[in-house]
Amino acid sequence: MGDHIFWDLFFEALQETLFLVFGTGLFVLVIGLIIGFFLYASEENSIMKNSLSTKVFHRVLATVNDVARSIPFIILLILLIPFTRSIMGTMLGAKAALPALIISASPFFARVVHMALKEVPRETLEAANSLGASTKTIVYIVFKEAMSSLVTGYTLTLVTLVGFMSAAAVIGAGGLAYLAYEYGKFGNNDQLMYLSIFTILFIVFIIQITGDFIARKINHN
């Protein structure tokens, strides 16, 4: 393999990986925050009114979320093949991995969000209520107080996503893991394999360090 092709392959894969991590990451962030918030808000004595419909809403949401979260990623990937093909038009490449990654990681992050919001002491919210805070303000306070935990949880989710992507590589989704798998196992190009693997590690490392740094910066507990 010539130098030129080697680096072309590598950079293309790197681009795909970054697209997958941050593209999926963005979807997971939004979906997870919304589901996680409603899981929290619909709990008893939380933000939504205590009523039968709130209770049912919470149950349904929690069940759907937990089921989606419990399916092992690789199984979900296979389950979703027809769905992916119909909306993405392909079963190969980076784009093909998006639906499974999003459906798998969002419920995970939703639970992380739920837990982080739950950590905010009831007493803090009671104090805000005693000041006459509106529901909007209460929601703002909950997120503000939970921010450090949310960042830590999101970091964890991104790192998990990188792991999921490596699994997706097996069914042909692109990226660095695919490169390592294909060229390491079948192409006998150890250099490319190790470069891919170390780059993946490096990405994980950068995500973790950045996440930890931000979380520490905003943590005043």
Residue with tokens 């199984």: 75
Residue (81 or 147) nearer to other proteins, CB? 147
Binding residues for other proteins (CB under 8 A): 121, 123-124, 126-134, 137, 141, 144-145, 147-148, 218, 220-221
Residue (148 or 189) nearer to other proteins, CB? 148
Of 20, 2, 7, 15, nearest to 160 by C-alpha is 20
Residue (53 or 137) nearer to other proteins, CB? 137
Residue (121 or 194) nearer to other proteins, CB? 121
147 CB-contact burial (10 Å; exposed 0-12 / middle 13-18 / buried 19+): middle
Least separation in angstroms between residue 37's CB and other proteins is 17
Least separation in angstroms between residue 121's CB and other proteins is 7
Give the integer Cα–Cα distance in Å for 186 and 193.
Answer: 11
Residue (41 or 200) nearer to other proteins, CB? 41
Least separation in angstroms between residue 40's CB and other proteins is 17
Give the integer Cα–Cα distance in Å for 133 and 50.
Answer: 19
Least separation in angstroms between residue 136's CB and other proteins is 10
Give the integer Cα–Cα distance in Å for 122 and 6.
Answer: 56
Residue (150 or 167) nearer to other proteins, CB? 150
Give the integer Cα–Cα distance in Å for 98 and 164.
Answer: 11
Tell me if 42 sits within 8 A of 52, measured CB to CB.
no
Least separation in angstroms between residue 144's CB and other proteins is 5
Least separation in angstroms between residue 135's CB and other proteins is 8
Tell me if 2 sits within 8 A of 192, measured CB to CB.
no
Of 17, 10, 9, nearest to 195 by C-alpha is 10
